[in-house]
Structure 1
Amino acid sequence: MKPISLFFFLFFAIYCHAQIYWPNDLAYLKTELPKRHQNLFFKLPKKEFNATMDALIKESMTLPKIVIGVRLQQLMAKIGDSHTGIRLTKFIDTSKVIPIFVHWFDDGFFITHTTETYKEEIGSEIVRINNIPIKTVADSIATLLVQDNQAMNKSYLAGYFCLPELLIYFGFIGTDEKVIFQLKKENEIFEKEFTVGGVKKLNVELPIEKKRIGDQNRRAFFWEKYIEADSIYYIQYNRCFSKESEKKYGNRKRAKKYPSFKKFQKKVFATIKEKPINKFIFDMRYNGGGRAVVARGFIEKLKEVEKINQKGKLFVLVGRSTFSSAVINAMDFKEQTNAIFIGEETSGNPNYYGSARSFKLPTCGVRVWYSAKHFKYAEEESNSFLPDIAVPVYFKDIITGKDAAYEAVKAY
């Protein structure tokens, strides 16, 4: 694992330096969001939305910014659309953080990145914060997230543990600069005091023995590898973007920096023709979306390749970070091919509100995101796309480099 910049996870928080008049900004949101969203009240009753906004508008001039942000995001979460919301970190002082990054594995919450000061705590499981069970903390933070499925929580929830201002809001810690964590490492439970402060980079990472194949090149838009020992052709598809799609639908200048999926596809099908392939893997576990059209031509062509499109030979890996357009592509595989799906349930679901747009609140400049379209790709309503074979992600597997999903393909 590479060192992680805290600001990458905190969205480069920008403060509102101009004079802010919250009643006007919130009233603007109350009016604009229902007008712009494709169907804002598909889940949350309009009466509840208006009553909550009216109460917040009335109290806003006496409330701290963090309180306004949390209450606003909790309302957004109730709307039930994961493409609609605010960036809560715009309301939080992110110059003061607890110097850790936490990941939610199926066997617990573990510290995966920290600073040199706390290097002995790397790899520890968090049992309690300030003597409060971690489940209690997680349940409160979950109110900030759309509760379509557990995958959404697993993807984003643990990232908030490093924000003391948020933990103070929920009453888990005091206002001093010290936070006590109860940790577990090598079956020993102990306490560790963390100092809140300014941290630019978490440069101490997990001492992993080797990288899992799924973690070897996650920054690449897409890449491929023929694994001769297993006769497996592995494709990882991390972003639904390409030079061609960006040139046609997006920013032509940015398109110059993007890789060509057309060239990539040509290489993949050449390899399919040349190599003996026992199993073919298309890995979308870390694909957060983009434009579904990028991979659709690839899938349509692959379904015609008898050598690959067979039950027990074609596998698609999905997980908690599979979202939006990547879920659409998963549905494409399901409807058009004989693929077997392995991994975790996805954060996104086949029928969803998306095509995200945004507008700014007038005085504070906070951006509000909303869905402009509704997409329906499944006849039955579902809160997630479920794999045929569920494979949990355990902390120990990350350390040893075992890719359980890849191993499940091998064992099939």
Structure 2
Amino acid sequence: MQRLRAIVFAAVLLAAGLGQAPAAIAASVDDWRVDLDKIGNTLGLQHPDPYTRIGREAFARNLESLKRRLPELSEEQRVVEAMRLVASIGDGHTFLEPTGDAFKEWYPIRLYRFSDGIFVTSAHKSVAGLAGAQVLEIGGMPAAEALDRARALMGADNDIGASENVAALSNAGLAKGLGLADASGALPVKARLRDGRVRALKLVPQPGGSGLGWRFRSEVFGASIGDYPDWVAAFGASPSSAFRTPDAARPLHLRYRRHYIGVPLPERDAYYMQVNYVLDHEDEAFNAFFRRAMAEVDKQKPRRLIVDWRYNSGGDGSKLTAMIAEFIRRGDAPPWRELYVLTGRKTFSAAVGAVEEFLVRTPATFVGEPAGAGLNSFGDAGTFKFEHAQLSLSCSRRRHWGRSDSHDPYTPVDVPAVFSFADYIAGRDPAVDPILVGEEMRALHLIAASDGGAAVRRVYAQRQARFHGVPWWTAARDDPMTSAGYALVDQGKLADALEVLTVDAEANPGLWRAWNNVGDLELKNGHREAGLAAYRRSLQLNPGNAEAQQVLAEPAKTP
């Protein structure tokens, strides 16, 4: 409690002007206008398609509006508005960061939004008592509203990735520009501490480094104040530096958050690997790790192989070919029976490329949240400096268009698993734990291939009851479900095939091809009226559907 009182006392000193560094000389309005034009031109010249989300004219109008309003804005507000403008492009690789001295002070907490609220996952040792606290208000407004303001400053490919973009709330200059901090930089916060008490506090910023690059580190680590040992993680109240060394006493997903780790679990008939970067590390190269881990898998022959990409923000995509080759060359006789790939909001950039490799090349089940970008997005960003405004622009220079033509902003998830803070702090993992205890976690099309239509229908009903309100979730993936259904046709299991394809259509009701398949199987099973009804539904969705037109034009000839 004395530390928390010290925060308030320090805020009073700060408000009195004690200990403040001299303010840097701000760029003139004319200098700002020059740099804003340069930023707009750089985006237009370097980015493959900067106006997909916002449109060229809308972006130009917003740019001109900001240039006109510059005299009315403080330096912090100018930076915030410039960041918001670039973020409107909607690309997680394209964003602005401030580099000036006014943006090198940080609050001693790191925030994370769980399903049950906003919590401090890591706190500086000066306010260690805040680790694990639930934040209720920030800057006099509900914490969720303040987080939304911060999210708008950083580009994101989808709302899942945007949920990671809360680092701006840890920066004093940006908090002032957002209207959350007072003139001294102190940030009013209301928090519920771990003991249940609610306290109103004022967080005082501390000097540190520049830039928001620390946001790519795992949530157990802190902002740009001090070093790893100076921060206390909410889980276990351990120094953040502890997570840079493996510890078997911690849950699997928290065992090691440095680069990559493989954990044999013979007592659970499983093998777990976590991959946190697509980069070589001084201890072990990326592909050397996969060769070693897969050799252990060969020896153990586990029923369940779990590959966790939830904390992987990317790296060198050229390394993925050799990585996935380790799985492909075992594909004819895999030493595992079930393969699970875990994804989440931090899965980004090259890690999304890894997701696509597993999606296309392996019979994997995907568990967790969608990645922070869809399978098709932008990347290979370059960095451009604007010295007058003291801004650094990261700008995508390449379109990554994979094997799929999908414009879906989400990567596929067969079984949702989202962390609550209650689970997190108790050491429970909603993705890994059910797999290890043998719950049915396989994708529906994999269940179809091994267990038939009745099992698919049963599991589909269970998952619909649990997850029907999850906006990014679809119970069945159409392409593999279609393949599984017609594989059953080839085996002469027409009733099973009909059930599988009907579940697919119910899960994807707007997909005309799925209703074509249902119509085809209904007719094959001798259900004439049901088959024609399915084809009519398909034709409503796609009036140009030639197959449905032909069947419905001559129903008497249809078998």
Interval containing the TM-score (normalised by the shorter chain):
0.7 to 0.9
Counterpart amino acid of residue 326 in structure 1: A
Aligned: 1:48 with 2:58 = yes
Bigger relative CO (Cα 8 Å, ≥ 6 apart): 1
- Is the 1:94–1:163 contact (alpha carbons within 8 Å) kept by the matching residues of 2? yes
Other-structure match for 1:290: 315
The alignment partner of 2:396 has SS state of strand
1-structure distance, mates of 2:171, 2:26 = 24
2-structure distance, mates of 1:184, 1:19 = 41
Other-structure match for 1:125: 134
1:255-404 matches, within 5 Å, as: 257=282, 259-305=284-330, 306-308=332-334, 313-364=338-389, 366-377=391-402, 378-404=404-430
- Is the 2:311–2:346 contact (alpha carbons within 8 Å) kept by the matching residues of 1? yes
Other-structure match for 2:160: 151
2-structure distance, mates of 1:67, 1:167 = 9
Q: What is the number of residues matched between the two proteins?
A: 381
2-structure distance, mates of 1:258, 1:365 = 36
The alignment partner of 1:25 has SS state of helix
Specify which of 231, 241, 257 is matched with residue 218 of structure 1: 257
Residue 183 to residue 132, structure 1, CA distance change in 2 (3 Å): same
- Is the 1:300–1:336 contact (alpha carbons within 8 Å) kept by the matching residues of 2? no
The alignment partner of 2:60 has SS state of helix
Other-structure match for 1:86: 96
2-structure distance, mates of 1:265, 1:332 = 15
Q: CA deviation at 1:190?
A: 1.7
1-structure distance, mates of 2:285, 2:129 = 43
| TM-score normalised according to structure 1 size | 0.83
Q: CA RMSD in A?
A: 2.8
Greater Rg, structure 1 or structure 2? 2
Q: CA deviation at 1:269?
A: 3.2
2-structure distance, mates of 1:278, 1:317 = 17
1-structure distance, mates of 2:124, 2:275 = 31
Other-structure match for 2:468: none
Residue 68 to residue 19, structure 1, CA distance change in 2 (3 Å): closer
Aligned: 1:236 with 2:268 = no
Counterpart amino acid of residue 140 in structure 1: R
| Identity score, percent | 21
Other-structure match for 1:251: none
- Is the 2:103–2:174 contact (alpha carbons within 8 Å) kept by the matching residues of 1? no
- Is the 1:114–1:204 contact (alpha carbons within 8 Å) kept by the matching residues of 2? yes
Structure 1 unaligned blocks of 5 or more:
1-14, 244-256
1:33-87 CA-partner distances (Å, limit 9, x unpaired) = 2012111222222112222222333443663221221111111121111111211
- List structure 1 segments (4+ residues) > 6 angstroms apart after TM superposition: 15-20
Specify which of 203, 227, 236 is matched with residue 208 of structure 1: 236
Residue 26 to residue 343, structure 1, CA distance change in 2 (3 Å): same
Residue 386 to residue 92, structure 1, CA distance change in 2 (3 Å): farther
Other-structure match for 2:513: none
- Is the 1:145–1:152 contact (alpha carbons within 8 Å) kept by the matching residues of 2? no
The alignment partner of 2:311 has SS state of coil
Aligned: 1:192 with 2:200 = yes
- Is the 2:290–2:326 contact (alpha carbons within 8 Å) kept by the matching residues of 1? no
2-structure distance, mates of 1:404, 1:154 = 19
2-structure distance, mates of 1:360, 1:130 = 31
Other-structure match for 2:481: none
Q: CA deviation at 1:242?
A: 2.9
